[in-house]
Amino acid sequence: MNISVFCASSHPNDYAHTAAARELGSNLAKGGHTLLYGGSNLGLMGEVSGAALSEGGRVVAVIPTFFSEEIINSQPVSQIVRVCSMAERKEYLIAHSDAFVALPGGIGTLDEVSEVMVYNQLGPLSNAAHRDKPVLLLNIGGFYDPLLAQLQAMRDAGFLRTSGGLVAPTTVGELMRELKSCLELP
């Protein structure tokens, strides 16, 4: 399966996030999944992709052309997909992924997660064959608790019809079990 991972291109203050990124990359590769991600070798992006590559996994970097050639070629990935904009990167990732995992991250990560949730909510309106694509937030140490509370408030107020395919496991092991369940893998 093709799994997009959304995460920061910076290093977090909490080493648990770095360790989880490495564990996730390793597990995705060992599970035979293709990792699609934002393309940087920096921060959590570099950790998850580097771990997948070290396990012999297939890694696809989807990166806008406005980044420098040094950044674009910074990670020895299986494939580089060059796009024109951040919006085009999200479109590509949504179209080519079966599921999405968000590690703790910043505003870019939040933007990507929101885009997939909008796709899941509005997709049935535009395509009868549409199916929600799972979104798994790796909720290490309760990182995503405030977001989950806000989403629940939106549901309670009638502004959000579905969960948008959202699941929030707290460990990589739990995430991998949820991913398998969501995708109905053998």
Average pLDDT over residues 152-170: 83
Number of folded domains that form the chain: 1
Q: Is residue 57 assigned to a domain?
A: yes
pTM score over 0.85:
yes
Q: Would you say residue 46 lies in a domain? A: yes
- The domain that holds 133 is classified in CATH as 3.40.50.450
Q: What percent of the chain has pLDDT over 90?
A: 60
What is the rounded average pLDDT of the residues 100-125? 87
Q: Is residue 35 domain-resident?
A: yes
Confidence of residue 125 (pLDDT cuts 50, 70, 90): low
Q: What is the β-pairing status of strands 34-37 and 58-64? A: parallel
Determine the residue type at 158.
G
| The predicted structure's pLDDT at residue 121 | 80
Residue 74 lies in a domain: yes
Q: How far is 73 from 95, CA to CA, in rounded Å?
A: 23
Cα separation, 142 vs 170, whole angstroms: 8
What is the pLDDT, as a whole number, of residue 169?
A: 93
pLDDT of 136 higher than 80:
yes
Average pLDDT, the chain: 88
Confirm whether 142 is domain-assigned.
yes
Q: Determine, yes or no, domain membership for 186.
A: no
Confidence category of residue 29, pLDDT binned at 50, 70, 90: very high
pLDDT of 186 reads 45
Lowest-confidence pick of 81-85, 118-122, 149-153, 161-165: 161-165
Q: Which domain holds residue 86?
A: 2-181
- Residue 124, pLDDT score: 55
Give the span between the Cα atoms of 157 and 63, in whole angstroms: 37
> Would residue 132 count as lying in a domain?
yes
174: in domain: yes
Distances in Å between the alpha carbon of 30 and those of 9, 49, 97, 177, 181? Answer: 23, 13, 18, 14, 17
Residue 129, pLDDT above cutoff 60: no
